[in-house]
Amino acid sequence: MFKIIKKEELNPTVTKMVVDAPLIAKKAEPGQFIIFRAKEDSERIPLTVADYDREAGTITIIFQIVGYGTMELNTLGEGDCIHDLVGPLGRPSETEGLKKVAVIGGGVGCAIAYPVAKKLHENGCEVHSVVGFRNKDLVILEKEFNAVSDKVCMMTDDGSYGEKGLVTTALERLIKEGNSYDEVIAIGPLVMMKFVCKLTKEYDIKTIVSMNPIMIDGTGMCGGCRITVGSQTKFACVDGPDFDGHLVDFDEAMQRGSMYKEFEQHAREEGCNLLKKEVR
């Protein structure tokens, strides 16, 4: 059992939890993730470690309420316990030796991009963060990104906050202004990462992306998280989640990611009914 120390609503669909997990906090690094079950009979769901405090023995998770599993997790409050939680899993993001990096975050993917930006900043790297959201109401972690970035470009699709446009608009402007980046690190929706990689390939800038396909066991045994990277099959849970974005087959990843949409919608609707019954 892992006690929830703090719970905070970041926006109407995104929740932040600080969880007591000293053994995981002791070893976690940016880019790694955990797999949890909210209750004994819940499904297994992966979540990236958004932050950690080694002294306090806590980790921070940030999740979007999109399916029954995350809906169920969101029913837990401060003082409640997550039934089980394993990690850290995956390979840490490689941040050593980088002098200047553009970190690109899209939507809830900013929860994964933030700890990477924070680690780079702690290493003395110059960090330019470009973060994008659909609108002002969905903005998260603005204060946190400002604290660890030398430059922050806030983008919204509708222009309701920051600058109107896509993250690629801001990134290309930064490149054309003469910024020479050792790497671009992009984390967010697959389509966003695809077009960031298309842009950086034109400018010959190494680009790392964080892949989060369907996962079950997190140990490479089930094969559910397989993706194609450079014509080779890789497992995101053990070979990643970070990969060279210029080698990732994004079209295949998007096709596989949409295979279970109908099933997920049905599970969500059934879950809503179950949660309503529990509340009654």
pLDDT tens digits, residue range 26-45? 999 999 999 999 999 888 99
pLDDT attached to residue 51: 95
**Which is higher by pLDDT, 222 or 107?**
107
pLDDT attached to residue 64: 93
Q: Are 149 and 129 in contact (CB under 8 A)?
A: yes
Which residue(s) pair with 122 in the sheet?
Answer: none
| Number of structural domains in the chain | 2
Question: Three-state SS string across the chain, please?
Answer: CEEEEEEEEEECCEEEEEEECHHHHHHCCCCCEEEEECCCCCCCEEEEEEEEECCCCEEEEEEECCCHHHHHHHCCCCCCEECEEEEEECCCCCCCCCCEEEEEEEHHHHHHHHHHHHHHHHCCCEEEEEEEECCHHHCCCHHHHHHHCCEEEEEECCCCCCEECCHHHHHHHHHHCCCCCCEEEEECCHHHHHHHHHHHHHCCCCEEEECCCCCCCCCCCCCCCEEEECCEEEEHHHHCCEEECCCECHHHHHHHHCCCHHHHHHHHHHHHHHHHHHHC
Q: What percent of the chain has pLDDT over 70?
A: 92
Is the pLDDT confidence value at 218 over 90?
A: no
For residue 241, being part of any structural domain is answered with no
| Domain shared by 99 and 194, yes or no | yes
| Domain shared by 13 and 97, yes or no | no
Confidence tier at 214 by pLDDT (50, 70, 90): confident
- Read off the pLDDT of residues 53-67 as tens digits, 9 standing for 90 and up: 999 999 999 999 988
- Read off the pLDDT of residues 107-130 as tens digits, 9 standing for 90 and up: 999 999 999 999 999 999 999 999
Closest CA to 151 of 204, 195, 104: 104
Domain end (from 60, 89, 118): 89
Domain end (from 202, 225, 258): 202
Is the pLDDT confidence value at 23 over 60?
A: yes
Instruction: State mean pLDDT over 197-218.
Output: 92
| Domain shared by 194 and 179, yes or no | yes
Domain end (from 89, 108, 136): 89
For residue 68, being part of any structural domain is answered with yes
- Read off the pLDDT of residues 239-280 as tens digits, 9 standing for 90 and up: 999 999 999 999 999 988 766 666 666 665 666 655 655 555
- The CATH number assigned to the domain holding 20 equals 2.40.30.10
For residue 211, being part of any structural domain is answered with no
| Domain shared by 148 and 196, yes or no | yes
- The CATH number assigned to the domain holding 151 equals 3.40.50.80
For residue 219, being part of any structural domain is answered with no
Which domain covers residue 110, as residue numbers? 93-202
